[in-house]
Amino acid sequence: MMNPDNTGRDDAGRLARRRMIFEDIYRRGVRNEGVLRAMEDVPREHFLPPELQDAALEDRALPIGAGQTISQPYIVAYMTEQLDVTPESRVLEIGTGSGYQTAILARLAKEVFSIERLDRLCEQARRRLAALGVSNVHLRCADGTLGWSETAPFDRIIVTAAGPQIPPALLDQLRDGGILVAPIGDEQDQRLLKVRRNGPRLIETPLIAVRFVRLIGKSGWKE
C-alpha cells in the first residue's frame, strides 16, 4: 500500500481518498492492490447528491434517494476483494444504485453488466458513469433477481442488496469456477455469503455481518 503522505503530483481529492483508504480500508485488512487502486481512482462524491458530497470520505453508508444507499467504502472494498475480479472477468452486478460499486468493478474487470430495478437510479448511474468515461459497463433497468440470461454465464456475480436466499437464476448464470458474493438475511440479521461454483457443486463460505437494503424482486423480498 502506498504511503498516504507521499503526495507526488496527486491533487487534493486523490490525496484525501488515499488517506481514507489507508485509515479505513487497508488497516481493516483489505490488501488487494488492484482494489485499493480502484478505490483511489474513483471519486465517491461523484455518486452522491450535492448536499452529501462533503461526507464522501466518511466510512459509512449514505442515502441516495428512493430509500436506497451507497455502501460504506470499507464494504465496497471488502466485497470487491472477496469477488477476486481479474482483467478477463465478466461481472454481473445486481443493484447498480448510485453506480459507485459499478465504477470500482469497471476498473478491474473486462466487462460489467449491472441491473437496477429503479428507473431513476438506473438513469442517474448511466449519466455518472458516462461522465467519468467508463465504457465497459452495460446497464439494464429491470428485476435483478432474474439476472441477465442473454449475456450469461458470468465469471463473477455481486449482489448489493440483501435477500432471504440467493436467487436461483443467479446461481444458474454463474460460470464453472466462478464466484458470487451476496448479503443474505432479513432487515435485522444479514451476513455476506461467498459462493464458488465447482462443476455441479456450490461451495459456500460465510463472511462478515453486514446491513444492506432489501433485495426486491421475483426471487427476493416483496415491495
Q: Annotated catalytic sites, by residue?
A: 71
CB atoms within 10 A of CB 128: 18
For residue 114 the three cell numbers come to 449491472
For residue 8 the three cell numbers come to 507526488
For residue 6 the three cell numbers come to 507521499
Of the candidates 181, 190, 182, 180, the residue with the CA atom closest to the CA atom of residue 211: 190
Backbone dihedral region of 142: left (phi > 0), alpha (psi from -120 to 50 degrees) or beta? beta
> Alpha helix locations (H) across 55-172?
73-83, 100-108, 119-131, 168-172
Of the candidates 66, 58, 68, 151, the residue with the CA atom closest to the CA atom of residue 113: 151
Q: What is the 3-state secondary structure (H, E, C) of 158-194?
A: EECCEECCCCHHHHHCEEEEEEEEEEEECCCCEEEEE
